[in-house]
Chains A and B, each alone.
Chain A
């Protein structure tokens, strides 16, 4: 029994969907549990940090970490897990690219704290109390982790061996990765375990995309009834499919929603947002500068649109404090 590979799972700044996706293995999970020893999985099983600390360095065969790194605690934990694990896998968009929490990199820490604890319409906090990293009461000391200035993808904090993309990764991808781990048929270090070809390749609407696309204006997905059989870009809905790794089997498209880019760019692209921006802008149907600006204004939130999952891992990473 002790020959079984040891697996750890951990979450950082994430929604929990990645953890769900492990459970989504359904009956297959039984096979996995059979084949491996799960040595750390705070969401599902009762392990303590001390248990991990007690392990030998490098003794965990592989740890899957999901979520971005936002707090000192998350940083501490991933460093600990890095030390204890032979292989670290960034699991899901947040660990891979920064993910949805990474959109917070548009703002400063101060802006975020002020809004959340003072300005948000649902907040009533007249004293302006903010969480502090340390609080003493009656001789006792309570601490909270500190809130970093930026959200980081996992590999901006520790070395990462593999990436399993997706928000959340599909059970199929997870199964493939686990199988690779069990059989030792691992790709080169640093690989993203998903096809290195954009989503359009496997998109059921591929044939409906015209060869002479000229976008007259953009529509936000909630504002129109998209034809369920036609390429969404051809309907003026920004679809990140052309700039996003495939492997998800076009789940969102099948739900008549555009790809928002959760699988990240292909290996040939450094900045997914910049690339789709380049392609989408070039394809608009406007020549005069004023028309160009007006057409592009129909994308009200370019950062949120093009960098929905990729902001921390992008060139710009984090907005500057003030205009400078």
Chain B
């Protein structure tokens, strides 16, 4: 089952997909505010709510890219405003180091973004997402899953992907129901 059929995008030209990790107190709330204010913006983001940007394990970012995200966006409270006092500083430090790893591995740094968006900045949610979608449109698909498949096609026999969690069985099971 390929992801494009899955998400109802069959036949539709490629549109970038962003996985966004938003902190509960600021950026997630800001995205709610954008909704309440009926601000229209690009729909390409899938938001994962975490309590604090400090919870964002760099592994999550890498996993999202590995699983096919074209971009990853981290949203947290402004410096000094973190609900948990300083989780956002930890996020910022990790971001800068991880950014260097990503670019070192050939992933354009515009695909990975961190923004401070306070609960009152619904308009910034709109602006940041629109901007990022536009940049990703220009960069084109990242599509690491296909890239990895292409790479492994040099092997005599391809191995199943080594994934951090295995949901293939569950999905297969469900397909039988």
Direct contact of A and B (CB under 8 A): yes
A287 to chain B, nearest CB (A): 6
| In the complex, B167 has a CB within 8 A of chain A | no
The interface bits of chain A over 279-307 (1 if a CB of B lies within 8 angstroms of the residue's CB, else 0) are 01110101101001100100100110011
Please, how many angstroms separate the alpha-carbon atoms of A286 and B92 in the complex?
Answer: 10
Number of interface residues, chain B, beta carbon within 8 A: 40
In the complex, are the beta carbons of A320 and B147 less than 8 A apart? yes
Please, how many angstroms separate the alpha-carbon atoms of A243 and B53 in the complex?
Answer: 21
Total inter-chain residue pairs, C-beta < 8 Å: 120
In the complex, are the beta carbons of A282 and B93 less than 8 A apart? yes
| In the complex, B97 has a CB within 8 A of chain A | yes
Q: Given known contacts A274-B57, A302-B100, A324-B142, is B156 in contact with A284 (CB within 8 Å)?
A: no
The residues in A between 258 and 272 inclusive whose CB is less than 8 angstroms from any CB of B are 269-271
Number of interface residues, chain A, beta carbon within 8 A: 46
In the complex, are the beta carbons of A319 and B59 less than 8 A apart? no
- B-side interface mostly: helix
In the complex, are the beta carbons of B90 and A282 less than 8 A apart? yes
Chain B residues with Cβ below 8 Å from A175 are none
| In the complex, B4 has a CB within 8 A of chain A | no
Chain B residues with Cβ below 8 Å from A307 are 101
Chain B residues with Cβ below 8 Å from A287 are 79, 89
| In the complex, A49 has a CB within 8 A of chain B | no
**Identity of the chain A residue whose Cβ is nearest the Cβ of B114 in the assembled complex:** A289
| In the complex, B174 has a CB within 8 A of chain A | no
In the complex, are the beta carbons of A75 and B155 less than 8 A apart? yes
Further pairs besides A157-B155, A277-B94, A318-B151: 9, Cβ < 8 Å:
A75-B155, A148-B154, A156-B162, A274-B62, A281-B97, A282-B54, A296-B100, A319-B105, A324-B142
17 contacts between A and B (CB under 8 A): A75-B155, A75-B156, A106-B105, A156-B159, A270-B164, A274-B57, A274-B58, A274-B101, A292-B96, A302-B104, A307-B101, A316-B62, A316-B105, A318-B105, A319-B106, A320-B105, A321-B106
Interface residues of B (CB under 8 A from A): 54, 57-59, 62-63, 65-66, 79, 89-90, 92-94, 96-98, 100-108, 139-140, 142, 147-148, 151-152, 154-157, 159, 162, 164
Interface residues of A (CB under 8 A from B): 75-76, 79, 106, 148-150, 155-158, 269-271, 273-275, 277-278, 280-282, 284, 286-287, 289, 292-293, 296, 299, 302-303, 306-307, 313-324
